[in-house]
Structure 1
Amino acid sequence: MSFQAYLDKIEEKTGKTPRALVDEAHQRGYGATDVKSGTILDWLKADYDLGRGHGMALVQVIKNGAQISDKHVGTKGTHSDPSNMLWLDGKATNPALR
Structure 2
Amino acid sequence: MSFQAYLDAVETKTGLTPRQLIALATERGFGPDTKATPTLAWLAEDDGLGRGHGLAIVHVITKGPQISAKHVGSGGTHADVSDTLWLDGQATAPSRT
TM-score between the two structures when normalised by the length of structure 2: 0.95
Percent same amino acid at aligned positions? Answer: 58
Question: How far is 1:32 from its partner?
Answer: 3.4
TM-score between the two structures when normalised by the length of structure 1: 0.94
CA contact (8 A) 1:91 1:97 kept: no
Distance 1:37 1:7 in 2: 16
Cross-structure match for 2:10: 10
Q: How does 1:1-98 map to 2 (within 5 A)?
A: 1-33=1-33, 35-97=34-96
Residue segments in structure 1 that go unaligned for 5+ positions in a row: none
RMSD over aligned Cα atoms: 1.2
- Runs of 4 or more, structure 1, over 4 Å off, are none
CA contact (8 A) 2:32 2:63 kept: no
Question: How far is 1:16 from its partner?
Answer: 0.4
Equivalent residue of 1:62, what SS?
A: helix
Distance 2:96 2:66 in 1: 18
Count of residues paired in the alignment: 97
